[in-house]
Structure 1
Amino acid sequence: MEFSYSNPTVIHFGKGKIASVSKAVPKDLKVLVIYGGGSIKRNGVYDQVTAALADHDWIEFAGVEPNPRAETLDKAVALCKDQNVGFVLAVGGGSVIDGAKYVVAAAKYDGNGWDILEGKHKVRDALPLGAVLTIPATGSESNIGAVITRGETHDKLPFMSPAVRPLFAVMDPDVMKTLPERQLVNGLVDAWVHTCEQYLTRSHGAMVQDGYAEALLRTLKHLGDNFDARDCDEWRENLMWAANQALNGLIGAGVPQDWATHMIGHELTALYGVDHARSLAIVQPSLLRHQMEHKRAKLEQMGQRVFELAGGDDLAERTVDAIEAFYEALGVKTQLVEHEGDKAAAIDRIVGQLERHGMVTLGENKEITLDRSREILEKAVA
């Protein structure tokens, strides 16, 4: 267990905390406020941000899509350069915050921003970034990662850099009151799989990381089992905090991590428009069954400590069944149906994208080859 861990993002958590933007954003820098489709103007968040920035010089950029597209974000990059923007404030969910991370990095780069995703440019400098979270799911508000899509070529790729970690994140659970049920479900599933990617690997003896991951999984399971209580403050607060803690770097510090479910799931989103969280629910059960040899011990541990299942030779298998049942109880499918055509052709297309993106050895053991990804997809595609 060897690691270096630092998370300097300042969290402003609780009702009315959007007002803290006023002091958190420097008044001597021109600010670009980035947001998505306009829901923040309907739910009052935009008005609160506007009030907080009353004494600042700021402009705005709207229209960042779910699974943010480089083609859109490049327009915001150009705006930053043309208007001498000195600070970016992302107001939205993970897609908006991920998109803003691309913008603050590309704004400090003279080349094509997509070079960042292809690894041709390593991000060491970026504009300062703050976040006002409106959809709990990805943890992007206090981590160093982002995932960006290029619509023209159906590419969906990640990048990571400490330079794009938000300086602060405002997390007001009240903003969740107007979220559609689908987005709340997606947030639950996304946080669940984020935790699993760092937990369901192999035994390693890091008791704090395991224990914290299990606490998060039990919390998320409780929220899912009590989804009817989603309109109460306690439910919203716990989902927002759990989703943040699932991917702020702590439970993954010094332990093996998987992320194969994400890499395969990204292709389902890029090719077929599947919601990110739902792509994970499609891939994960099939992947866990395929990797049972390597994950049996941790699946048994999860079965006992999270689902409270009885022991037995088939405990790991029953744990995967329980994960699948958890998704299905939330109305989330565990097989791909969006391909709307020939199963073999869909699998060929997904595997082809994995190969093109260099995703040829995945998982904590780097042993999920393209052939094994194909075997996983055989079970995951309807």
Structure 2
Amino acid sequence: MLNFDFYNPTHIAFGKGRIADLATLVPAHAHVLILLGGESARKNGTLDEVRTALGSRQVSEFNGIEPNPSFEKLMLAVEQIKKEKIDFLLAVGGGSVLDGTKFVAAASLYEGDPTEILSSFGAKITQAMPFGSVLTLPATGSEMNNGGVITIKSRGAKLPFLNNNVFPRFSVLDPTKTYTLPQRQLANGVVDAFIHVMEQYLTYPVGGVIQDRFAESLLLTLIEQGPLAVESTDYTARANLMWTATLALNGLIAAGVPSDWGTHMIGHEMTAKYGIDHARTLAVVLPAMMQIRRVAKQEKLLQYAKRVWQITEGSDDDIIDAAIAKTRAFFESLGLPTHLAAYDIGEDGITAILKQLEEHGMVALGERHEVTLAESRKVLEAAL
């Protein structure tokens, strides 16, 4: 029997021209800090739209949040907030900027060592500054969830955190803001969203029929609309990609059902060690994870094969093999390699990744916590 609570307070303003809604979404007398990544929001006019919508409010900026946001950089934003007496944060960018803003929102009001936010996976957060977001890159779902991932460079650690205090108050999603994105980033976004769904779907049956059907619809949408969104500036395709990426990780499809996240934990260590794009690490790990854990995941793998890829002919093993091959081919068709060899990572690299997993306590991964370091090694070896 399903038994769960679902909580998500984020207001979504979706569609062309919705940046203008900031005029009413942001408190009228707020001193706003806009947090940014690179220069794209400034160059493509998004930042000007944001500033226009904010009107006469006092506005400051913090620039340079990295693609894998670092603790060290974000603490500079915390210093600026305290110095300038900022009282509202506005993330303008993709998932990295949003994740970084969530951490800054919590760290600005945290009374202890802010690294404790990450070492406790967010459990020690008791309050956070209010913030909203203007999303420019669909991928992570951070615009409508309560989590993030931050890198502590000094430790070589990429650590996730979750806490209900860091839900955005609102997020503005204008698909036209994706028009200037490079194809690489769009392709990464498609695969990132796809694997977010898979981590919550490809576990074992618990009677979550609606969650399963919802997850399958998201996967089918990404398979259909993802390539269109990467190849063109078609508004419908970009809008469907943006909304699918949001729904992939806002908690709905995870309500009352088990989740895996083993692929993500291994992928995080690959990014921390080798600097590979997050989505690209996932594209390498997931097909190998499906192969190594095909017995534990058999029921869901067969369901996935039949409902998502319409594979019905052959033995169970044949059907699962075909589903894994289809998944791998989909990622490759978008330009994301699915083997470690593409990144010149061999046996020595596998040992280095396993060492980091052990150092960070990632020794019992998966929906049943049965993916030991030995199993993680098998996964990485299958990805060579």
TM bracket (short chain): over 0.9
| Equivalence for 2:7 | 6
Are 1:95 and 2:96 counterparts?
A: yes
- Aligned residue among 320, 326, 335 for 2:324: 320
One-letter code of the match for 1:335?
A: H
Are 1:356 and 2:367 counterparts?
A: no
CA distances 1:10-51 after superposition (whole Å, capped 9, x unpaired)? 000000000111110102221111010111011110110110
Corresponding residue SS for 1:368: coil
Superposed counterparts of 1:330-341, under 5 Å: 330-337=334-341, 340=344
Q: Which deviates the most, 182-191 or 108-117?
A: 108-117
Counterpart CA distance in 2 for 1:178 and 1:18 is 17
Counterpart CA distance in 2 for 1:103 and 1:229 is 35
One-letter code of the match for 2:107?
A: A
Distance 1:227 1:62, change over 3 A: closer
Is the CA contact (8 Å cut-off) linking 2:195 and 2:282 kept in structure 1? yes
Corresponding residue SS for 1:147: strand
- Aligned residue among 246, 258, 261 for 1:259: 261
| Equivalence for 1:377 | 380
| Equivalence for 1:127 | 129
CA distances 1:208-231 after superposition (whole Å, capped 9, x unpaired)? 000000000000000235456531
| Equivalence for 2:189 | 187
| Equivalence for 1:71 | 72
Superposed counterparts of 1:218-229, under 5 Å: 218-226=220-228
Superposed counterparts of 1:29-178, under 5 Å: 29-119=30-120, 122-178=124-180
CA distances 1:271-308 after superposition (whole Å, capped 9, x unpaired)? 10110001000100001100000111111111111111
Counterpart CA distance in 1 for 2:344 and 2:296 is 33
Is the CA contact (8 Å cut-off) linking 1:195 and 1:246 kept in structure 2? yes
**1:101 positional shift:** 0.4
Counterpart CA distance in 1 for 2:232 and 2:124 is 41
- Aligned residue among 286, 289, 298 for 1:284: 286
One-letter code of the match for 2:242?
A: M
Is the CA contact (8 Å cut-off) linking 2:109 and 2:129 kept in structure 1? yes
Q: Which deviates the most, 56-65 or 330-339?
A: 330-339
State the TM-score, normalizing by the size of structure 2. Answer: 0.96
Is the CA contact (8 Å cut-off) linking 2:229 and 2:241 kept in structure 1? no
Is the CA contact (8 Å cut-off) linking 2:229 and 2:238 kept in structure 1? no
One-letter code of the match for 1:164?
A: V
Corresponding residue SS for 1:292: coil
Counterpart CA distance in 2 for 1:94 and 1:226 is 21
**1:112 positional shift:** 2.7
One-letter code of the match for 2:267?
A: G
CA distances 1:48-80 after superposition (whole Å, capped 9, x unpaired)? 011011221111100000010111000001111
Are 1:346 and 2:357 counterparts?
A: no
CA distances 1:223-248 after superposition (whole Å, capped 9, x unpaired)? 23545653111000000000000000
Corresponding residue SS for 2:295: helix
Q: Which deviates the most, 300-309 or 133-142?
A: 300-309
Counterpart CA distance in 2 for 1:36 and 1:206 is 38
Counterpart CA distance in 1 for 2:247 and 2:360 is 29
Counterpart CA distance in 2 for 1:295 and 1:224 is 26
Distance 1:251 1:228, change over 3 A: closer
Q: Which deviates the most, 234-243 or 372-381?
A: 372-381
Query: In percent, how many aligned pairs have the same letter?
Result: 48
Provide the alpha-carbon RMSD of the alignment. Answer: 1.3
- Aligned residue among 335, 359, 365 for 2:368: 365
Q: Which deviates the most, 109-118 or 28-37?
A: 109-118
- Aligned residue among 289, 293, 296 for 2:295: 293
Q: Which deviates the most, 306-315 or 31-40?
A: 306-315
Distance 1:138 1:81, change over 3 A: same
Counterpart CA distance in 1 for 2:210 and 2:355 is 39
**1:338 positional shift:** 6.4
Counterpart CA distance in 2 for 1:339 and 1:227 is 26
**1:90 positional shift:** 0.3
CA distances 1:185-209 after superposition (whole Å, capped 9, x unpaired)? 0010000000000000011211100
Q: Which runs of 5+ in 1 are unaligned?
A: none
State the TM-score, normalizing by the size of structure 1. Answer: 0.97
Counterpart CA distance in 1 for 2:206 and 2:120 is 31
Counterpart CA distance in 2 for 1:228 and 1:267 is 27
Is the CA contact (8 Å cut-off) linking 2:20 and 2:53 kept in structure 1? yes
Counterpart CA distance in 1 for 2:190 and 2:102 is 23
Counterpart CA distance in 1 for 2:210 and 2:109 is 38
